[in-house]
Structure 1
Amino acid sequence: DNVTNWSRRDSRRIKCKVGATYSTPPASLKKAVDDINDMLVNHKNINNDMIMVYFDEFAASSLNIFVYCFA
């Protein structure tokens, strides 16, 4: 008989923030968001159904990009 692991996950959630300095030009920040999104979309181990990459907040010492996906 085989043992079934019911708690085994098929995917793992990735949720993080990437910080840029306040001196980063808006065009560079947009390019960073686009580049991160493109990297995730083209990665074979990332589920393309749920990718979110966007400018998130003006933090105390950085401009934060939010990254959310499943691998």
Structure 2
Amino acid sequence: LRIVTIEDACVPDPRGTLPGRGAYVHPAPVCLDQAVRRRAFPRALRVPGPLDVKALRHYVEQAQGCDSNL
């Protein structure tokens, strides 16, 4: 899943069309938690300070919920 920053937030870019520098993470809660814990997003996206990951976390949780219904 491609991730980009909009203002001070990490947002998902599933179509890969949003402008700006992107980073990639597996769309799984475990991988997202590990990336947040390691502060990987600010480093990969080259932005100072912490980033809000609420929208990203919501997207990943929604995707996991849909996969379990298949």
* Structure with larger Rg: 1
Task: Judging by fraction of residues, say which structure has more helix.
Answer: 2
Same fold per TM (> 0.5)? Answer: no
**TM-score with structure 1 length normalisation?**
0.31
Greater RCO (CA < 8 Å, at least 6 residues apart) = 1
